[in-house]
Amino acid sequence: MTLKTVGKSIIRVDAYSKVTGKALYPQDIYLDDMLYAKTLRSKVPHANIKIDTREAERQEGVVRIFTHKDVPLNEHGVVLKDHNVFAADKVRQIGAPIAFVVGESEEACINGMNKIKVEYEELPGVFDPLEAMKEGSPKVHGQSNIIYHYKLRCGDIEEGFKNCVAIAENTYTTHMQDHAFLQPEAGISYMEEDGTLVVAVATQYPHYDREEIARTLKLEEEKVKVINTNVGGAFGAREDITIQIHLALAALTLNRPVKVVFGREESFQAHSKRHPMVMKYKTGADKDGYLQAMEAEIVGDSGAYCSWAMNVLRKAGVHATGPYHIPNVKVDSYAVYTNNPFTGAMRGFGATQIPNAAEQQMDILAEKLGISPFEIRQKNIFKTGSKTATGQVLLESVPLDRCLEELVKRYDEFLKLKNVVDETIEEGVL
């Protein structure tokens, strides 16, 4: 196939506006007569709350304070609707939004926010997902903290391990990561003359935002317009709703433009994180270096809300084998609520955590078998026609062998540089 444009490194269409500073992100939009807003957030991880905004409302420059009472349908979420637009009677994580203070200036909003009285009746919290799975643990939502259990069964796991001469059995953990995009959340909302409610934000999915705004505020979707400005990085953290409904509610109610801009700390508190995972692995290979069995139990900490937990732990489970053909596989992955900051989508979506375990398992097995890290991979990787543990046939475009071959070609060069230092150490130079 001869291609004219695909395959060419043309200059990005958005490069000019970005190198000149002309590209507008939501914080760069200023409208006449606009109001500012600040979000009051929970200071504790688990508590029953009572809110009193009366004194705050009387502060000079405060125009209106929005709380759960103002939201027609106080629930949202990408899969389960377990997020509140504003916490009503309970908070489940630090940073959960409680009130939205709208005022004539940012100072007025801060002043008003400081005068809101929140009475916290603290509840025992649970912060370790393994603890959270136990029966007697504090519950974050409902009767159980286990949101989801994915099961993968392929072959006969016990028989598989019988054929192994080398077995590696280890537990790995990964931590929470923040997306840390450079542009903190910001947005502006206003009414158009024909009654259309406009919300300008930086989002990954404007149509979803529109749906959630319309659903929670009981509006027709056609009456809501989401403008996606330039987006200053996302990496998964702009999938869940943060400011969209707050802004929409305020502009709709007050019929004036309302703008909110987060600082960095608030950004850390407001959006999702990468799921920490506990990964118990047992992997075995036969005497010829072929993988015969793999058993894994993976627990992902979803924090206080579900967000994409099911999909993330499903993805973790499906990818638990690594890109290897293994005839006998047993995987159980769980998504679990805790009172930690909620986790959700982040670049790699559950498949990023897994290889920190699975790939170390491969090297451990290679060492036990006395073969190289390359050899164990070359023997076991997916090739065209391979079948995954879920039974899916990889019919085409499976060039992992070629990827690996490129590294083999360069290995000597790496080894030379590695050994340089060994010699200098021996010579006492370093």
Partner 1 sequence: MKKRGVGLGVSFYGTGYGNGFPDVSNAEVQLLEGGKVGIFVGATEVGQGAKTAMIQIGAEALNMDHKDIVLVSEDTSQMMDSGTAAATRQTYNTGNAVKIACENFNKRLFDLAKVELGLNSTAGLVAQDGDIYLGIFPQKRISYKDLSEKYKDDIIRVVGSFTAQTVKMDDETGQGAPYWPYTFNACMVLVEVDTNTGRVELLKAAFAQDVGRAVNPSLVKGQMDGGFAMSLGYTLFEDLALENGVMKNRKFSKYLLPTSMDMIDVENIIIEDPESTAPYGAKGIGEPVTIPIGPAILNAIYDASGVRIFNLPVTPEKLMKALRESEESEAI
Partner 2 sequence: MMEIQLIINDINYKVDIDVNMRLIDLLRDKLGLTGTKEGCGEGECGACTIIMDGESVNSCLVMAFQANGSNIITIEGLENNGELDPIQRAYMEEGSVQCGFCIPGLIISTKALLDKHPNPTREEIREGMSGNLCRCTGYNKAIDAAQKAIEYLKEGQNDFKNSW
Answer yes or no whether residue 429 interacts with partner 1 by CB under 8 A.
no
Q: Count Cβ atoms within 10 A of the Cβ of residue 197 and give its class: 0-12 exposed, 13-18 middle, 19 or more buried.
A: buried
Rg (CA), the chain: 26
Binding-site member from 144, 163, 228, 253 for partner 1 (CB under 8 A): 228
How many residues of this chain bind partner 2 (CB under 8 A)?
A: 32
- Classify strands 47-52 and 117-122 as parallel, antiparallel or unpaired: antiparallel
Query: Can you tell me the distance from the alpha carbon of 63 to that of 35, in angstroms, rounded to the nearest whole number?
Result: 8
Site for partner 1 in 140-169 (CB under 8 A): 150-154
- In whole angstroms, the minimum distance from the beta carbon of 345 to partner 2 comes to 15
Beta bridge partners of 336: 146, 301
Least distance in angstroms from the C-beta of 133 to partner 1: 17
Q: Does 60 bind partner 2 (CB under 8 A)?
A: no
Distance CA 78, CA 237 (A): 12
The reply on whether position 297 binds partner 2 by CB under 8 A is no
Name the residue nearer to partner 2 (CB basis): 24 or 403. Answer: 24
Q: How far is the CB of 259 from partner 2 (least distance, A)?
A: 11
Q: How many residues does the chain have?
A: 430
Binding mask 347-386 for partner 2 (x = CB under 8 A): ----------------------------------------
Contacting partner 2 within 181-240 (CB under 8 A): 181-184, 230-235
Q: How far is CA 284 from CA 152, 322, 376, 377, in A?
A: 17, 13, 12, 13
* 414 part of the interface to partner 1, by CB under 8 A: yes
Dihedral pair phi/psi, residue 160, rounded to 5°: -60, -45
Determine, following the binding rule CB under 8 A, whether residue 30 of this chain makes contact with partner 2.
Answer: yes
- Apex 226 CA angle, 221 and 228, nearest 5: 155
Q: Which stretch binds partner 1 (CB under 8 A): 29-37, 156-164, 288-296, 308-316?
A: 308-316
Distances in Å between the alpha carbon of 233 and those of 47, 181, 237? 33, 5, 9
Beta carbon of residue 245, minimum distance to partner 1 (angstroms, whole number): 15
Number of residues that bind partner 1 (CB under 8 A): 120
Residue 170 interacts with, from partner 1, partner 2, none (CB under 5-8 Å by kind) = partner 1
- Alpha-carbon distance of 285 to 283, in angstroms, equals 7
231 sits near partner 1 (criterion: CB under 8 A): yes
